[in-house]
Structure 1
Amino acid sequence: MPQLPLGPAGTPGVEVRVETGAGAQVRRSVLPGGIRVLTEAMPGQRSATFGAWVAVGSRDETDGHHGSTHFLEHLLFKGTPTRDAMAIASAFDAVGGEANAATGKEHTCYYARVLDADLPMATEVIVDMVTSALLDEGEFASEREVILEELAMTEDDPADVAYERFAGQVFGQHPLGRPIGGTPATIGAVPRDAVYEHYQRVYTPAELVVTAAGGVDHDALCEQVLAGVARGGWSLETSAVPAARRATGEAFTSRVAAVPGMPTEASALTVHRSTEQANVLLGGFGPAGNDERRFTLTVLNAVLGGSMSSRLFQEVREKRGLAYAVYSFGSTFADAGMFGLYAGCAPGKVTQVVELLDEQWRLLATEPISSDELERGIGQMRGALVLGLEDTSSRMSRLGRSEITTGEFLTLDETLARLRAVTAEDVRALAADLYGQPRHLTVVGPFETDVAATALPRS
């Protein structure tokens, strides 16, 4: 089956569609105001997942607005002129549905999973929230305290602390290095007017992407979205086009950062926490979200640290019993990426564990993997992809990320074909590029000395 090229911004009224198998069909329409609507109708599904996306995240915040994106995620559930917070919550509870939101570094999504018959209700409520949030001063003050408690909870989780600090090391002073939720200082300082200004600036029809999957009628959903946006008072000019996608970066090469201004030297950071275990992260830059090697990266992760048969699991946990949790991971953004290896171990074993993480990474970069490892890695990712798409929420999210990030929706067959095309040499070459980047080490645990500086592998 062909891939669906989502193309540039698009023209209002223009539609593209593609059959995705088993009677399912993806459709994309550009509505007045530049609103984009993408659906995947799945015959026989009695549920549907709806998402309203804004392609703005924590990296887009300006000085004085840090934390505003995550603040808005909370405040949009606090009420509109037509329904208060209780009415919003009750609407979904009354039908057994689920509603939530997520803020990322490059986008925010408000979503709900309901029975197909209740999709019009979910659409109406979420569109009302997105277009007509009150951002009441009293609610703002109380929600500030809730967010500060959320940040405190994160600081109490040593794994979360490790990931936040690690991202700061990899990306430095670049906006990608900032915590998504802000800090206690920025949340405590940001005024309601700054958050409202951020809301008015970035929540516009041209930035809005609506996606839905499951038991959904595309034409009916488009009508419901337009009606909801009109009730919210947003402009629906027929000549308006969607906002341009975020600029993407060139593929990184050995020891070259994907984005100017990011750190070019290795670093080590030890964070003291009174824990029984040390949380260890070793890694650096990775491919951006539009890099063709993103398919190779998934296979590399499967082989290195993505399963019970992976090298890290076998070497660190099974053979030596040094960790319960050990794995590798990759995070991609429009113009940069991050790659890392994680392990949780006894504080006295940090140096030994870091040496093993580095050794397995280096071996992957210098010696081609076996044919058995390659087939197992590809098979793992193929199975995970297919099983994941049994869920309407996964399909809804896939539509949104495709529209916002790459501008290309791949059918399942096309995605599987790209995975099958990955070779052992592709994996080795990418591992070598990753290994050639400045490496950063974060260690969180009960340390009085700078254990990370001692354990950091030298090139």
Structure 2
Amino acid sequence: MTIPNAKKTVLPNGVRILTEEIPSMRSVAMGILVGAGSGNESDREAGISHFIEHMMFKGTPKRSAFQIAHALDSVGGKMNAYTSKEVTMYYAVVLDKHLEVAADVLGDMFLNSIFDPKEMETEKGVVLEEIKMYEDTPDELIHDLFAEKILHGHPLGKPTIGFNETVGAISREDILNYQKRLYAPNNIIVSLAGAVPDNALELIKPFFNGLPGGEFKHQESKAEIKGAVFLKKKKTEQAHLCLGVKGPSHRDKDRYAYSLMDNVLGGTMSSRLFQEVREKRGLAYAIYTASSPFRDFGLSYVYAGTGKETLGYVIELIIEQFTNLKKEGITREELTRAKEYIKGSMVLGLESSSSRMGFMARSELYHDRIQTVDEIFEAINKVDRDDIVRLANQYFRDEDLTLVVIGDLDELPVKELKC
């Protein structure tokens, strides 16, 4: 069985519509993905992608903000949106018989939002409070701080949520100009999965057939990635750290091999770092690896929260594991376990209509086609232990190692990093 078993329709203006009927489901998920996020913003626009996402729910000529929410609530559906570094997604999940309602509400929001200046000022207050909340959550803040320091001013290093001064300055004209630049038809993907009815295309096409706009052209994004050591002094009980390097992009042929190495290093409770740092020594509650692949490059790092007095030791243990991977790679048993874990979690993660819808949209965005599970499994199965050693030496380079710490410290226990 091919998963996903999707069909692709391209409208004359370039909008792509993806559909996958899954007979065993009664729900249908519909998403509108735009290839635009904080990585597309200028310095003065920081946070505008996320702010537009908020404002899409605040009213159209046809519906008030309450009526938008009520329309989905009244049919037992759910509707939401998210913004990342490269993507903004608006989506809804409903019973199959209510797809017409979901399509009408999403289409209306996406195409006809008013961006009322009064509503904008109110929503700016909401986002500014969100920024404050984020600043008060060091185990979340540390991830964006790591990206900022390793990318040295690159747009993908800016926080998606933006800054107080830039969010406060966003005007209605700024929003319209941003949408004109990035919400182009060829940068929009509509994805449906689940109990998709036979007339789905007829429901969707009228919303997007007449969508005007120029053609969006992606320009390759080159980042100056170089190592750094940075401390943000903040009164916290723990020291929060991210230690990492450059990683592969979404389109890199080595991305699956890298994900296996990442899994062995810190992706599960049986991973090397979890066992060495938490289980054997009790130095942390949370320690894990994280990867952020983008269109043209990626980032990869370890997060840990530990006591101020044990920070140096935890850093030493992480570096030791980087070194071990470069010299010895991983065992045959570790490779087999990682392959089965990645494949199993991928399939389990595609069991819902909403996850299948999102997978198809992202695959189309990054690869210009919909990858199948079998295709990905084949690539994973081809990875051998030599690939892991090669990638460890390619990515764990002294000159790229970046350490960022948030904590109540006057100085860091390390000045330079080597593995």
- TM-score under structure 2 normalisation? 0.95
The worse-fitting range, judged by mean Cα deviation, of 437-446 and 354-363 is: 437-446
1:341-365 Cα shifts (integer Å, max 9, x gaps): 1111111111000000111111012
Instruction: Say which of 25, 31, 41 aligns to 2:11.
Output: 31
Gaps spanning 5+ residues in structure 1: where? Answer: 1-18, 250-258
Relative to 1, partners in 2 of residues 1:66 and 1:368: Cα closer, same or farther, differing over 3 Å? closer
Give 2:183's aligned amino acid.
Y
User: Partners in 2 of 1:214 and 1:401 — Cα distance?
Assistant: 17
Task: Check the 8 A contact 1:440/1:456 in 2, yes or no.
Answer: no
Structure 1 residue 167 and structure 2 residue 144: aligned? no
In structure 2, what is the equivalent of residue 88 of structure 1? 68
Q: Secondary structure at the match of 2:264?
A: helix
Shift of residue 370, structure 1, vs aligned partner: 0.9
Shift of residue 247, structure 1, vs aligned partner: 4.7
Structure 1 residues 63-82: aligned runs within 5 Å:
63-82=43-62
Instruction: Say which of 121, 136, 144 aligns to 2:101.
Output: 121
* Identity score, percent: 39
Instruction: Say which of 219, 222, 235 aligns to 2:212.
Output: 235
Shift of residue 243, structure 1, vs aligned partner: 4.2
Q: Secondary structure at the match of 1:324?
A: strand
Task: Check the 8 A contact 2:225/2:246 in 1, yes or no.
Answer: no
Instruction: Say which of 314, 327, 341 aligns to 2:288.
Output: 327
Task: Check the 8 A contact 2:16/2:188 in 1, yes or no.
Answer: yes
User: Partners in 2 of 1:292 and 1:310 — Cα distance?
Assistant: 24
Shift of residue 72, structure 1, vs aligned partner: 0.3
Instruction: Say which of 259, 271, 277 aligns to 1:298.
Output: 259
Structure 1 residues 118-197: aligned runs within 5 Å:
118-197=98-177
Task: Check the 8 A contact 1:354/1:456 in 2, yes or no.
Answer: no
In structure 2, what is the equivalent of residue 344 of structure 1? 305
The worse-fitting range, judged by mean Cα deviation, of 435-444 and 199-208 is: 199-208
Q: Secondary structure at the match of 2:289?
A: strand
Give 2:405's aligned amino acid.
V
Q: Secondary structure at the match of 2:251?
A: coil
In structure 1, what is the equivalent of residue 406 of structure 2? 444
Shift of residue 97, structure 1, vs aligned partner: 1.4
User: Partners in 2 of 1:341 and 1:197 — Cα distance?
Assistant: 38
Structure 1 residue 458 and structure 2 residue 380: aligned? no
Structure 1 residues 359-438: aligned runs within 5 Å:
359-436=320-397, 438=400
Shift of residue 122, structure 1, vs aligned partner: 0.9
Q: Secondary structure at the match of 1:25?
A: coil
Structure 1 residue 111 and structure 2 residue 91: aligned? yes
Gaps spanning 5+ residues in structure 2: where? Answer: none
User: Partners in 1 of 2:294 and 2:220 — Cα distance?
Assistant: 9
Give 1:354's aligned amino acid.
I
The total of aligned residue pairs comes to 418
Shift of residue 220, structure 1, vs aligned partner: 2.3
Q: Secondary structure at the match of 2:129?
A: helix
- TM-score under structure 1 normalisation? 0.87
User: Partners in 2 of 1:154 and 1:93 — Cα distance?
Assistant: 29
Instruction: Say which of 181, 203, 207 aligns to 1:224.
Output: 203
Task: Check the 8 A contact 2:15/2:208 in 1, yes or no.
Answer: no
Task: Check the 8 A contact 1:441/1:456 in 2, yes or no.
Answer: no
Q: Secondary structure at the match of 1:64?
A: helix
Task: Check the 8 A contact 1:64/1:194 in 2, yes or no.
Answer: no
In structure 1, what is the equivalent of residue 2 of structure 2? 20
Give 2:401's aligned amino acid.
R
1:260-308 Cα shifts (integer Å, max 9, x gaps): 5x143x2111112221111111002111110011101211111110111
